[in-house]
Structure 1
């Protein structure tokens, strides 16, 4: 297996070679943002975020038109380098102080739910016959933070674009079902007062969707749900480090058979180090409050471009071939996550 460079930009004659592909991703991203805003204007809320719309539009474009070779360097740049920068910027949204606000018990519970989700999903994927790399992607997506976790883990375990695209698409669909169903089901569960927000934070896979799922239960539920979700997102760094260690062991075995070893810096991806560093700087007060929102905006915007690029690299037939095992894994994973989360909030809140 050939060694891949740590920074793809080193092999790109920027800006001439990347401009066509970036332009294509920008066009798809702009359309996705427009469709998200159109949903909000028509229905009062967005059922599909621009992130997921960009992926779907990219897949649709690829299904009817194969991007010209001139576009490929820019598409690759968006799918990898820009995404990695977005993950670094995402770290500025989180601070240790905010996590403390929900108390050590719920923090420990959220960490436990992430660990349970990862192990449970891996077991389900193995039983369903889903390939190991796709199983790990689904486990990270459902257990941590959806698209960002899947795309952060993908280069570490060397998953291909078809695996990533299919995992994101099916996980997003399952997450949408949870968002729509949670406000309808929770009142029937007999949960203790105040549990709604915690349950949303423990089960819904993306931060904006946590807000949507918790909003019917009031402002306090949204606040608790967001903070609980924050703890799950913070697990992105440690989980990626563990995946990097496992991947390093795989590569070491390959090296013993004559393949080249990756550089030591691949042990912990640079974007995960950047994510943790940004979080530490924010916690220490090094990032002023007025700068957090612009950084979040750029992290989201760059991720939209990355999703468009990912969609352009997905072969739809390969996604459809993976459908059954992937659907089973995503569905049972979400059911298990919901069940474990319900048990946790009952125990912690006295239900």
Structure 2
């Protein structure tokens, strides 16, 4: 039976439909971004300097909109596109601004310290959750979300430990809302602690949940803080693989249904062993490292660095607007006092461990 070749128009239709789906949400994120830049410009004219960067303003405006209006389903594809893919592209472009000198300044001690911080923080956070009476799986979600990378860590760990949707929703709600508070408060804490740009960047990378939030928290302290914060954060994200594999081994102990979780853990280990490298390491991290290498070997023209940095900033602000549009502060009230206490105390412990590491390393 002969096959009928598809016309060029038929091939284009699905692609056009995908683009049309993201337009409403993307337009909304771009609108929030425009307002954020306009307000930052007004700050500059009125006060001679910008107190709240466009990155921070975008997430605040987005959060305010989301708290009084829930976007219908037609808006969500564009918001998700802005929060995920545009952010990943921004992270790749940001690699062009990271010099080899910054990496060398970090040294192997910092890399080892990041890994130790993640595992120490997970253990401490899990203990806090259990002491406050949280179920083991909920305590594990809170611990991993706080200690690694917020929502991404929670989503990755949930199937490994057999967590249900209610636990996942509560943990994600807290990391989203608390993440905004950390972005706003961390620069003030950095000033109070008299941290240098390099120290503050490492501190932000160790404590803030998501990559765009790290960038937003580091921006008030300068370019060096942004470079170091992003580098530390991405190393922290890489810890998600070892943590998931470790939890798949420990999974039978995380709830009463040991038989079922033993089967689940075994399946997860087999699945992890078959995963190709691009599933274990996100593509944008590889792209970020590739851009660092290109910058270090002089493969990126000097004249291109400023436009690349500008594009990275713009895309990051758009993703921050999308992140804010996904945060509903009203959801926190539904999770309960014990979860609130566990998340807040875990974050304070993570901050204390991170500050101790930054102080011991004597970063410049």
State if a TM-score over 0.5 links the two structures.
Answer: yes
- C-alpha change, 1:53 and 1:255, in structure 2 (3 Å) is farther
- C-alpha change, 1:246 and 1:339, in structure 2 (3 Å) is closer
> Conserved in 1, the CA contact under 8 Å of 2:97 and 2:227?
no
In structure 1, the partner of 2:146 is 138
Equivalent-residue separation in structure 1 for 2:322 and 2:197 (angstroms): 34
Equivalent-residue separation in structure 2 for 1:210 and 1:311 (angstroms): 18
- C-alpha change, 1:173 and 1:66, in structure 2 (3 Å) is closer
In structure 1, the partner of 2:133 is none
- 1:94 is the counterpart of 2:98: yes
Equivalent-residue separation in structure 2 for 1:17 and 1:211 (angstroms): 32
> 1:1-351 to 2 correspondence within 5 Å?
13-100=17-104, 102=105, 106-129=106-129, 131-140=139-148, 150=150, 163=171, 166-174=174-182, 176-186=184-194, 196-205=196-205, 206=214, 210=218, 212-213=220-221, 229=229, 232-233=232-233, 235=235, 238-239=238-239, 242=242, 253=264, 256=267, 264=276, 265-320=278-333, 321=335, 323-345=340-362
- 5+ residue gaps, structure 1, are 1-9, 142-149, 187-194, 216-221
- 5+ residue gaps, structure 2, are 1-13, 130-137, 159-164, 206-213, 252-260
CA drift of 1:291 comes to 1.5
In structure 2, the partner of 1:145 is none
Higher-Rg structure is 2
CA drift of 1:117 comes to 2.9
Equivalent-residue separation in structure 1 for 2:45 and 2:245 (angstroms): 46
- C-alpha change, 1:27 and 1:207, in structure 2 (3 Å) is closer
Equivalent-residue separation in structure 2 for 1:165 and 1:23 (angstroms): 25
Other structure's SS at 2:21 match: coil
Tell me the TM-score normalised to structure 1 length: 0.70
Q: What's the CA shift string for 1:299-343, capped at 9, x where partnerless?
A: 222222222223323333323435432222222221232233223
Length, aligned pairs only: 309
Tell me the TM-score normalised to structure 2 length: 0.67
Aligned-residue CA RMSD (Å): 4.0
- C-alpha change, 1:96 and 1:307, in structure 2 (3 Å) is same
Equivalent-residue separation in structure 1 for 2:17 and 2:93 (angstroms): 25
- C-alpha change, 1:228 and 1:167, in structure 2 (3 Å) is same
> Conserved in 1, the CA contact under 8 Å of 2:115 and 2:236?
no
